[in-house]
Amino acid sequence: MSRTARDVVFVDGVRTPFGKSGKGLYAETRADDLIVRVIRELMRRNPGLPPERVDEVAIAATTQIGDQGLTLGRTAAILAGLPRSVPGYSIDRMCAGALTAATTAGAGISFGAYDVVIAGGVEHMGRHPMGEGVDPNPRIISEKLVDPSALVMGNTAENLHDRYPTITKERADAYAVRSQEKVAKAYADGKIQPDLVETLVRSAEKGFGLATQDEPPRPGTTMESLAGLKTPFRAHGNVTPGNAAGLNDGATGTLLMAEEVAEELGLDAKMRLVDFSFTGVEPEVMGVGPVPATEKLLARQGIGMDDIGLIEINEAFAVQVLAFLEHFGIADDDARVNPWGGAIAIGHPLASSGGRLMMQLARQFAERPDVRYGITTMCVGLGMGGTILWENTNYEGGK
């Protein structure tokens, strides 16, 4: 009898371009076909990995019905052509689904139960709006366990503005403009494209085509263009479609394995999983979740925010990011934060977004051997936050 603890590394990641929900890129494409495309591409890009060496497929979705249901990790593995011996399962932690897939499956690697896992997420908000088919227990409201606003994410963002009165609409809009600008520059510099896989799309009207780049970005966004947008969650409020992520469709997948297995297979370990933390907060201000999750993780590791050289934080709402930055004394335009922009521009297909954060951090690590540590962090619906601490395997010293 023996127990083991092994280092877990991120080897590769790939995602579909993100689409706009409704009449966007994937209006007539199944959600499970999106994640199947991602799994197949991960295997294609890593020919040194025998398919039978994959020990688990963990796939997250927030709305687990229809083509996002039926134990998605297992069905997607079968559809992607992995051996029948490869098991799979589904995960739901709302927006942090892919993060949780990585930490759950990664913990299995560290424990010695797995050598290689595929962890990812998919969300087709056009086919399955968040909350479709759910039946919240009436006691949640009748017994005042949470405020009714906790069930509407936009309302929780307005509540967060109340908690942080220094975060004005203008400040949130300015952050949103920078996100759009950074994504446009990252595309122009070819930073984002390596993570994308061309994805077949179908339209009864237009026929077949290929999705090759993200659909949501709005290059040229200005403060003036955002100023007049409506505030749908509160009259004369602060949250608008311009300073929040939209409703999106897309899938992400990551390849994680034990570090010695990556060496055995001749695969490049891009970053090392150091630690992770999930925590709960008041559901009415779910956007503050990354703050205690990150505090808990940093305290356990005995390091501070000054030790973190790169921060990939999901931009569900600008106010949620700004609350995190304000708490830790980080400037709104700190170069460590989302260097290539974020979800306000690229989109936020709920359970899949954590995979994008990991991919972008890994590529930034490759360009920054002077940076040792980075985090991927996000707020989570119903009042949670999640943070993963990663170490750069390319680290060559310095801060």
pLDDT for residue 205:
87
pLDDT for residue 153:
95
Q: What is the mean pLDDT of residues 361-376?
A: 97
Q: Is 125 helix (H, G, I), strand (E, B) or coil?
A: coil
Instruction: Establish whether 379 is a catalytic residue.
Output: yes
Q: What is the mean pLDDT of residues 11-15?
A: 98
Q: What is the mean pLDDT of residues 267-275?
A: 98
* Given the residues 124, 128, 161, 379, the one annotated as active site: 379
Q: pLDDT band for position 5 (50/70/90)?
A: confident
Q: Is the pLDDT of residue 399 over 80?
A: no
Domains in the chain (CATH in brackets) are 146-192+274-389 (3.40.47.10)
**Lowest-confidence range among 106-115, 124-133, 219-228, 256-265?**
124-133
The answer to whether the CB of 169 falls within 8 A of the CB of 228 is no
- List alpha helices for the chain, DSSP H: 31-45, 72-79, 97-111, 139-142, 153-163, 169-188, 223-227, 259-265, 290-301, 318-327, 343-346, 353-367
Using CA atoms, how far apart are residues 320 and 160, in angstroms rounded to an integer? Answer: 7
For tokens 């009748």, the residue is 142
Q: What is the mean pLDDT of residues 240-267?
A: 98
Mean pLDDT estimate for the chain: 96
Using CA atoms, how far apart are residues 181 and 222, in angstroms rounded to an integer? Answer: 9
* Given the residues 124, 128, 161, 348, the one annotated as active site: 348
Q: DSSP letters of 86-100?
A: --EEEE-BTBTHHHH
Please write the tens of the pLDDT for every residue from 319-365: 999 999 999 999 999 999 999 999 999 999 999 999 999 999 999 99
Q: What is the mean pLDDT of residues 145-171?
A: 95
Contacts of 99 by beta carbon, 8 Å cutoff, 6+ apart: 93, 276, 354, 357, 358, 376, 378, 386, 388
Q: What pTM was computed for the model?
A: 0.96
Instruction: Establish whether 95 is a catalytic residue.
Output: yes
Please write the tens of the pLDDT for every residue from 18-73: 999 999 999 999 999 999 999 999 999 999 999 999 999 999 999 999 999 999 99
The answer to whether the CB of 54 falls within 8 A of the CB of 118 is yes
Question: Could you give the maximum distance between any two Cα atoms of the chain, in Å?
Answer: 66
From the CB of residue 280, how many other CB atoms can be counted at a distance below 10 Å?
14
The answer to whether the CB of 287 falls within 8 A of the CB of 343 is no
Q: Is the pLDDT of residue 281 over 70?
A: yes
pLDDT for residue 1:
65
pLDDT for residue 398:
57
Q: Is the pLDDT of residue 141 over 90?
A: no
Instruction: Establish whether 128 is a catalytic residue.
Output: no
Dihedral in degrees, nearest 10, Cα atoms 274, 379, 329, 347? 100
* Given the residues 95, 124, 128, 161, the one annotated as active site: 95
Q: Is the pLDDT of residue 4 over 80?
A: no
Tokens, residue 389: 């601490």
* Terminal alpha carbon distance of the chain: 41
The percentage of residues in the chain with a pLDDT greater than 70, rounded to a whole number, is 99
pLDDT for residue 167:
98
Q: Is the pLDDT of residue 229 over 70?
A: yes
Please write the tens of the pLDDT for every residue from 292-306: 999 999 999 999 999
